[in-house]
Every structure is written in C-alpha cells, then in structure tokens.
Amino acid sequence: MYKLIQAKSFTRKLKKLIEKRRLTIDLLKSKFQVLAIDPFHKSLRTHKVNTRKLGYQYSSSIEGDLRIIWNFDSDKNLVILLLDIGGHSGSSGIY
C-alpha cells in the first residue's frame, strides 16, 4: 500500500474545490484509498500526461472532468506525491 503525501498547493486547491463543487469527502476518501492500494486501478483511468507546469506526471480520474496529478516519490519507496487537482478541459484545465 502506498502512502499519499499532499503538496501544499494541492491541499489549497482541494479545499477550494470541495467548497466550489461540493464534493463529498466520502467520494474523495474512496478514490484516495483506491489510489493508495493500486494507482493503476481501472476505475482511476490513470495515464501519463505532459502538464504545462509540472512536466510529465500521472493523471487519475476522480469524477467527471475532475483529475488529480501525481507521481511516485523517487526518494522513498511506496510514496505517492499528490501534486495538483482540477478540471481536465477548458482554459483552467490542469493539463
């Protein structure tokens, strides 16, 4: 099982999204649990993307258009760094 670590910018964006989109904590917890157990689980639709700000990272689906950007911590085994969260498309998309 992987340990999930949130970047400070990820935490700030997550709080705003919870308020704005009214995401349920239960939905997020369940997706984070799946990510921690198997980052390439079919339900997450994980794939490699080239982001404008972060370069090549992994993207996983939360719901609808909402995605999380993450990568494995190269210094520590079994650690996933949560880097960004946001919409997939449009001018405010995260990649």
Q: In this structure, are residues 82 and 94 in contact, taking their beta carbons and an 8 Å threshold?
A: no
In a domain, 95, yes or no: no
Give the C-alpha separation, 61 to 47, whole Å.
Answer: 9
H or E element that contains 19: helix 8-21
In a domain, 93, yes or no: no
Give 24-36 pLDDT, tens digit per residue: 788 889 999 999 9
As for how many domains the chain has, the answer is 1
Instruction: Report the pLDDT value the prediction gives residue 92, as an integer from 0 to 100.
Output: 60
Give ∠ CA 13-64-19 in degrees, rounded to 5: 35
Residue 25: partners with Cβ closer than 8 Å, 6 or more residues away = 18
In a domain, 92, yes or no: no
Q: What is the mean pLDDT of the chain?
A: 89
pLDDT at position 37 over 90? yes
Q: How would residue 44 be classed by pLDDT, with cut points 50, 70 and 90?
A: very high
